Structure 1
Amino acid sequence: MATVTFDNIFHGDSPELGKLRFNAAGFGWKAYQSEDNNPMTYSGSDLRSATWIRVARNFQLRFTMRQSDKPRVIFDGFKRDELEKVKRTLDDYFHIKLEQRDGSLKGWNWGKAEVLGNELQFQVQGKPTFELPLKNVANSNIAGKNEVALEFNPAPPSKDRNPTARVADELVEIRFYVPGKSHKAKGSDAGSGDDSETEVDEDGNEVSAAEALHTMIKDKADINAVAGESIVVFEDILVLTPRGRFSLEFFADSIRLVGKSTDYRVPYTSIHRMFLLPKIDDIHIQLVLGLDPPIRSGATRYPFLVAQWPKDEEVDAELNLTEEELAQHEGLQRKYEAPTFQVVSRVLKALTKKKVTPPGNFRNVQGINGIKANVKAVQGELYFLEKGLIFMAKQPILIDFSKTESISFSRVGGGVASAKTFDMRVVSKSDTADHVFSAIPKEEVESITLFLTSKNVKLKNEIEEVMDVDPISDEEIDDASISSDDDKGKKNKKDKGKSQRRPADDEESEDDDFQSASSDGGSPSESDSEDESGMASDASDPMIEEIKKRQEAKKNKTKGDAPKKNKDISSDEEAKPKKKKAKNEVDSEEDDD
């Protein structure tokens, strides 16, 4: 059987080159680097149409297939002069005419968005600019009145690509601004400005073009595709992250959050951790779901979904399952009549087959599981689990003990004796940034230390190191200060002056004036007083005296009139040095006695 081969061809979005071969039975592609593997083959009877279009990687051959699981097959890398060869091959083997399509190269961001089959096509002046497969759309929301926001699922590694390789860049969100009203005559061409009749909903309200496009995308995309009806629905649930009130609809393979303006669909396979935590107020219970990949709202990623209920809120729920379906899920019951948080967590545990983690055996001084703490300026609640920590705030933080190098207690600012709080730093084994939890009540040190020690976590208590050095008596401070020569001389002079001046009140007031005047170092008799009291001074050193003389000469030279100003001293200022000199003479006489 004759075959036609094309070399250096890409399959889909694969970065690997390969060979594309055609024969009368069908066609197949095989990568050059995987010659030992079987090629990817397709039957010629499943081929519906073929299109030739210019793309980034030269020319593209796009096949529309009859199979619903693979509606389109793409091959890139064809050269311009291979067009006639491709035409003859498709006509001879499959009797299909190759359609040539020109794309728009204007680069405009305004045009027309249409839903064609299972694709959303954006056209500029009647020519396609880009196409989006609706099967990759994870969520569609109305952002504002005239804006449709589409969120996309992350692309999993394909079979023909290395599973460890990850896509460098991915489209995660795109928004369409669709003004105007929807018209019945145009259908998907809503917002074109035609004078046809405006479409209305069941309540008689006019339908905007954005709402019409949003509804069409949700119908065609895999957003609400579920097997059968919902198992159970919980209405008006308060969700803290992302913030809002939602209805929780449980299906066989996913959970759907339906809000007023935003819907989320969370597959059970993306739920990898579940926690049930009582709040510190002892009134509410929080259910925390760890998601990978996280859900998105615009540019914000939410790796955790947090719902909250009052402890005493109860619900009566009946599951929409047959006896055979109940038997497939261990732990499910037909009817529930219990607190809401228990019913929701039990249903989730059975459907996801994941364990619901309660808080550890840690108790604070009030006997509650968690403690209040801050991360930077964010206030929250810190819970100690059996294998890690979780900080509950707007964006929760989960820390595993297995990835923790050490945990240290420290204080930042203020005296330790008067501090009422402390900080806890969690050092990671990896290169990620450390987590610092501040404003923790000081009385929780002992309970936290006992719990972390029982989990074999390496601790560094910096508080005790500071407290061991902190209690220093006044006598030790005085002894340390006396060891300095300058401080020693001043202290002895002060003590000696106090003992000799205390009997006379007038002299005591005069000494106060003297001390304030001499504290600037401008008293001419200060060095004499220190020499007569038997204390060494800097003036006794010839080198120091020479330095002082040079400084005084330089000072007089720069100021010019400084010597004249020294002579113009008031009578009160002249009296003070005289009194000090007279007093020093008395002191020296008493010492001689």
Structure 2
Amino acid sequence: MAMESFDNIYLDLSKESGKCRFAETGFGWKPSGGGDTFTLDHSNIGGAQWSRASKGYEVKILLRNSGIVQLDGFQQEDFERLSKVFKNWYSTNLEHKEHALRGWNWGKGEFGKAELAFNVQNRPAFEIPYSEISNTNLAGKNEVAVEFSLPTNGDDAGNGALGGARGKGKKAGAGKDQLVEMRFYIPGVTTKKEALEGEDAPSDAEAEEEQNAANLFYDTLMEKAEIGEVAGDTFATFLDVLHLTPRGRFDIDMYENSFRLRGKTYDYKIQYEAIKKFMILPKPDELHFMICIGLDPPLRQGQTRYPFLVMQFKKDEEVSIDLNMTEELLNEKYKDKLLPRYEQPLHQVVTQVFRGLAGKKVNQPAKDFLSHHQQFGIKCSIKASEGFLYCLEKAFMFVPKPATYISYEQTASITFSRVGGAVSASRTFDITVHMKGGAGESQFSNINREEQKPLEDFFKIKGLRVKNEMDEDGSALLAAALRDPDMASSDEDDVVAARADRGSADDDSESQDEDFQEDSESDVAEEYDSAHESSGSGSGSEEEGSEEEAEEEEEEERPKKKTKTG
């Protein structure tokens, strides 16, 4: 049997080279270090191209089923042998393809059968296989962002186990550094006929209609890369769902293997297998529920990564929905997991549909813990970001931003402490969670003092080590206050105020804080959270500034009185 062999060939940007053999029936590649062999039947070879590449010369094989296979590492003198192989055995010409080397960053995007080519003066500057595109978004009026798939781990690429277009992100694991996003600026208007020259160009009247070139590029790429609705029929759709992380309103389309978030600017397609955690958390205002979904790999929006999605639903918002699913499929695959029709509060329906399609366990706050106000969540802050801390059965969860998950297993100890002056420290406290193995710590601050006992009791139930520094801090503050000479000569009322840990003044200020925070939980404040935070922090600084000014004026007045009496 006739055969041609080549050594040190890399399949689909693999990390390891291997041996490549061509025969009349097709070709095979086997990694030199051992592993699975990749084979391709000659009937699936639709074309071939020869061009310069990173490790020498590359043969790109175009498959009949819209995929591509890349073989890199050939020498220039191998071209004649390979030309005969493809012509005599596979009845196709090995086309010599020259790349554009001008260094221009402007050109023409052309949609091929298996990849998007960026051409400069009719030569390809680079090509992007559709199999490597995970998502695309309209980043601006004339700008389209293309996101590339990330491999789940480094071993996903280079072993040749799954063949050419082996699923999204498989080639991306070949190097230490990888391209994760590319943006195209596409000005002007065009028609479908102009944009899709060649076989794919439609001939109907709609093809002659002019439209925004960036929008047409985006729609075509969505279709070619099989992003979104093209992936199959939607089983359920939830419209205009408020998301706190990432912020905005998105429509949620539920498919068989993935779900899609459709917003005004960004679209995301997320596989169910990327869902690692699913939590439903009642908000302390008793008006809303939050659904928190943990993702790995995290959702990416430009340079920002979102490991958690946080959605918010009104508690009393009811919905009636029929699943777009055949009775056969429902009985065969989703029996006892999904119902054909739902008439329940919206947050319950979303939870049940996610649980049925993704097959993930739903976590809720621990029943052993209730706050002083008989709520599951405690109001607190991480640095300058306000939110709610929930004690789950196996972990802490802080939402909405930055969404933080800390499992009890990774917790070494928890420290209670007071931060701030005598008055503020008497009303609030902080807890610091120290991670095992020196993995860092997370601090939750500005917790109402009434929550100390419920938290301590719960930590005792869970067997967590607790160190209470609040008593030490309190005695130290009191001793410092008594040693202060200014305090000794001050009015009696000032001494009482300094020594008081509790009193009507504290209660009054606490109720004011609660009223202020309750305002922040209204729909309007959630929608415009950034403005609310800035106004809140501003008012706080004004109050602090006014107190300092009052103290300075009082100190200036005292020596004047003494000089008069003297």
TM-score (norm. length: structure 1): 0.74
- Kindly indicate whether residue 111 of structure 2 is the aligned counterpart of residue 115 of structure 1: yes
How high is the TM-score relative to the length of structure 2? Answer: 0.77
Q: What is the match of residue 252 of structure 2? A: 248
Asked if 1:259 corresponds to 2:263, the answer is yes
Question: Which residue matches 2:447?
Answer: 440
Q: Map Cα deviations across residues 213-271 of structure 1 (whole Å, 9 max, x no partner).
A: 11111111120255642112222211221222222221111112222232221211111
Deviation at 1:90, TM superposition (A): 2.6
TM-aligned CA distance change 1:475 to 1:453, over 3 Å: closer
Match for 1:4: what amino acid? E
- Does residue 450 of structure 1 match 2:446? no
1:188–1:212 CA contact under 8 A, matched in 2:
no
Contact 1:50/1:62 (<8 A) preserved: yes
Instruction: Tell me which residue corresponds to 1:186.
Output: 194
- Partners of 1:390 and 1:399 within 8 A in 2: yes
User: Counterparts of 1:283 and 1:383 in 2: how far apart (Å)?
Assistant: 17
How far apart, CA to CA, are the structure 2 residues paired with 1:77 and 1:278?
Answer: 58
Higher relative contact order (CA 8 A, sep 6+): 2
Residue in 1 that maps onto 2:70: 74
User: Is 2:83 the partner of 1:90?
Assistant: no
CA contact 2:30–2:160 (8 Å) conserved in 1: no
* Alignment match, 2:243: 239
Name the stretch that deviates more: 320-329 or 376-385.
320-329
Amino acid paired to 2:91? H
Corresponding residue number in structure 2 for 1:149: 145
Shift of 1:188: 3.6
Rounded to whole Å, the distance in 2 between the matches of 1:183 and 1:280 is 53
Tell me how far apart the structure 2 counterparts of residues 312 and 269 of structure 1 sit (CA, whole Å): 31
2:223–2:230 Cα contact (<8 Å) kept? no
Q: Tell me which amino acid in the other structure corresponds to 2:157.
A: S
Q: What's the secondary structure of 1:252's corresponding residue?
A: coil
Aligned to 2:490: none
* 3-state SS of paired residue (1:113): strand
Instruction: Name the counterpart of 1:378.
Output: 385
User: Following TM superposition, by how much is the alpha carbon of 1:310 offset from its aligned partner in structure 2, in angstroms?
Assistant: 0.9
Matches within 5 A, 1:490-569: none
The number of aligned residues is 469
Task: Answer with 1 or 2: which has the greater Rg.
Answer: 1
CA gap 1:335/1:388 in 2 versus in 1, 3 angstroms: same
Residue of structure 2 in register with 1:356 after alignment: 362
Mean Cα deviation higher: 240-249 or 322-331: 322-331
Say yes or no: does 1:46 pair with 2:44.
yes
Q: Which region of structure 1 is more displaced relative to structure 2, 468-477 or 43-52?
A: 468-477
From 311, 323, 338, give the equivalent of 1:307: 311
> Secondary structure of 2:211's partner?
coil
Distance 1:472 1:347 in 2: 59
Aligned to 2:177: 169
Decide whether the 8 Å contact of 1:409 with 1:424 is kept in 2: yes
Could you list the per-position Cα deviations for residues 409-432 of structure 1 after superposition, in whole angstroms to 9, with x for gaps in the alignment? Answer: 112232389621111111111443
Displacement over 4 Å in runs of 4+ = 199-202, 225-228, 468-478
Residue aligning to 2:498: none
RMSD: 2.9
The corresponding residue for 2:497 is none
Go from structure 1 to structure 2 and tell me whether the alpha carbon gap of 1:128 and 1:375 turns closer, same or farther (over 3 Å shift): same
Q: Which residue of 1 aligns with 2:296?
A: 292
Aligned pair 1:338/2:344, yes or no? yes
> Is the Cα contact below 8 Å between 2:20 and 2:30 reproduced in 1?
yes
Bigger Cα displacement from structure 2, 129-138 vs 325-334: 325-334
In structure 1, the partner of 2:59 is: 61
How many angstroms does 1:325 deviate by?
2.2
Change (3 A) 1:47 1:200: closer
Listed one character per residue, the Cα deviations across residues 88-118 of structure 1 (whole Å, up to 9, x for unaligned) are 3333333332111100112221111111112
Task: Give the structure 2 partner of residue 103 of structure 1.
Answer: 99
- Equivalent position of 2:549 in the other structure: none
Which residue of the partner structure matches residue 579 of structure 1? none
Q: Equivalents in 1 of 2:473, 2:402: separation in Å?
A: 33
CA contact 2:310–2:399 (8 Å) conserved in 1 = no
Tell me, yes or no, if structure 1 residue 19 matches structure 2 residue 19: yes
* Gap change, CA 1:435 and 1:205, over 3 Å in 2: farther
CA distance change for structure 1 residues 312 and 436 in 2, over 3 Å: closer, same or farther? same
Give secondary structure in 1 for the equivalent of 2:473: helix
Q: C-alpha deviations, 1:47-84, integer Å up to 9, x for none?
A: 2222110011110011112235xx21111111112222
Corresponding residue number in structure 1 for 2:542: none
Q: Structure 1 residues 42 and 108 mapped into 2: Cα distance closer, same or farther (>3 Å)?
A: same
CA distance in 1, matches of 2:267, 2:424: 52
Secondary structure of the equivalent of 2:141?
coil
The question of whether the paired residues in 2 share the 8 Å contact of 1:288 and 1:304 is answered with yes
Distance 1:476 1:209 in 2: 75
Instruction: Give the whole-Å Cα distance in 2 for the aligned partners of 1:339 and 1:473.
Output: 55
> Mean Cα displacement is larger for which, 262-271 or 338-347?
262-271
1:65, 1:439 → 2: CA distance?
Answer: 61
What amino acid sits opposite 2:218 in the alignment?
H
